[in-house]
A and B are shown apart, each in its own frame.
Chain A
Amino acid sequence: MTEQITRRSFFKTVGSATAVPVALGTPLLAIADATAMEPGDARAPPAAAAATSAPAPAAADTEAPLYLFFNAEEAAFIEAACERLIPADETGPGALEAWVPNYLDKQLGGAWGAGERLYRSGPWQAGTPSQGYQLPFTPAELFHTALRAINLHFASTGKTFAQGTAEEQDAYLKSLETGGADLDGVPSGVFFDSLLKMTIEGYFSDPVYGGNRNMAAWKMIGFPGAYANYYDAIDRHGVKFERAPMSIGEDRHGHVHVDPNIPASL
Chain B
Amino acid sequence: MPQKLKETDVVIIGVGMTGSIIAKELAAAGYKVVGLERGQPRFTVPDFQSPSVHDELRFDVRKALMQDNTREAVTFRNNSSQTALPIRRWESFLPGTGLGGSHVHWNGQTYRFQANDFELASRTRQRYGAKFLDPDISIQDWGVTYAELEPHYDRFEYLLGTSGKAGNLNGQIQPGGDPFESPRSRGYPTPPMKEHFQGATFRKAATSLGYHPFPQPSSNLSQPYTNPEGVKLNACVFCGFCERYACEHYAKAVPQTIILPVLMRNPNFELRTGCQVQRINLDSTRRKATGVTYIDAAGREFEQPASLVVTTSFALNNVRMLLLSGIGARYDPSTGKGVVGRNYAYQTMSTVASFFGEDFIVNPFMASGASGTLINDFAGDNFDHGGLGFIGGAFIGAVNTNGRPIQYHPVPPGTPAWGKGWKQAVVAHYNHTIMLSLHGSSVSQKQNYLDLDPTYKDAWGQPLLRMTFDFPKNDLRMAEYVTARGVEIGRATGAKQVAGNPRKGPYTITQYQTTHNTGGTIMGSDPKTSVVNKYLQSWSVSNVFVVGASNFPQNASWNPTGTIGALTYWAIDAMKNRYFRNPGPLVSA
Contacts and interface: CB of A to CB of B under 8 A. Distances in A.
Interface string A214-242: 00011011111111111101110111110
Contact of B419 (A87, A117, A208, A218): A87
A221 B506 contact: no
Interface in B236-265: 236-240, 248-250, 260-261, 264-265
A70 interface: no
B50 A221 contact: no
A119 B88 contact: yes
Nearest to B226: A261
A130 interface: yes
Given A116-B62, A125-B85, A238-B197, A130 B427 contact: no
Interface in A100-133: 112, 115-121, 123, 125, 127-133
Given A218-B405, A221-B405, A265-B45, A127 B85 contact: yes
Contact of A206 (B55, B87, B424, B427): B55
A255 to B, nearest CB: 6
B456 A131 contact: no
Interface string A125-145: 101111111100000000000
Given A130-B506, A238-B360, A226 B51 contact: yes
Interface string B390-433: 00000000000001111001000000011110111011001100
A38 interface: no
Nearest to B261: A266
Interface string A248-266: 1111000111110111111
A201 B197 CA distance: 27
Contact of A259 (B54, B194, B234, B260): B234
Contacts of B509: 130-132
Given A118-B88, A209-B57, A261-B232, A228 B62 contact: no
Nearest to A225: B54
Contacts of B477: none
A60 B523 CA distance: 63
A234 B52 contact: no
Contacts of A225: 54
A205 interface: yes
A117 B45 contact: no
A182 to B, nearest CB: 21
B406 A223 contact: no
B366 A205 contact: no
Nearest to B469: A130
A221 B89 contact: no
Interface of A: 34-35, 84-87, 89, 91-92, 112, 115-121, 123, 125, 127-134, 170, 173, 177, 196, 199-201, 204-206, 208-209, 217-218, 220-231, 233-235, 237-241, 248-251, 255-259, 261-266
Interface of B: 43, 45-46, 49-52, 54-57, 61-63, 68-70, 73, 76-78, 82-83, 85-91, 194-197, 200, 232, 234-240, 248-250, 260-261, 264-265, 360-361, 363, 365-367, 371, 403-406, 409, 417-420, 422-424, 426-427, 430-431, 455-457, 506-510
Given A231-B238, A257-B50, 13 more contacts: A118-B88, A118-B89, A130-B509, A221-B405, A223-B365, A223-B403, A226-B55, A234-B238, A241-B363, A248-B55, A259-B234, A263-B261, A264-B45
Closest 3 A/B residue pairs (Cβ): A130-B508, A230-B366, A226-B54
18 contacts: A84-B419, A87-B420, A91-B427, A112-B62, A120-B88, A121-B457, A128-B82, A132-B508, A201-B406, A221-B431, A222-B430, A233-B363, A237-B196, A239-B361, A240-B361, A249-B51, A251-B50, A257-B248
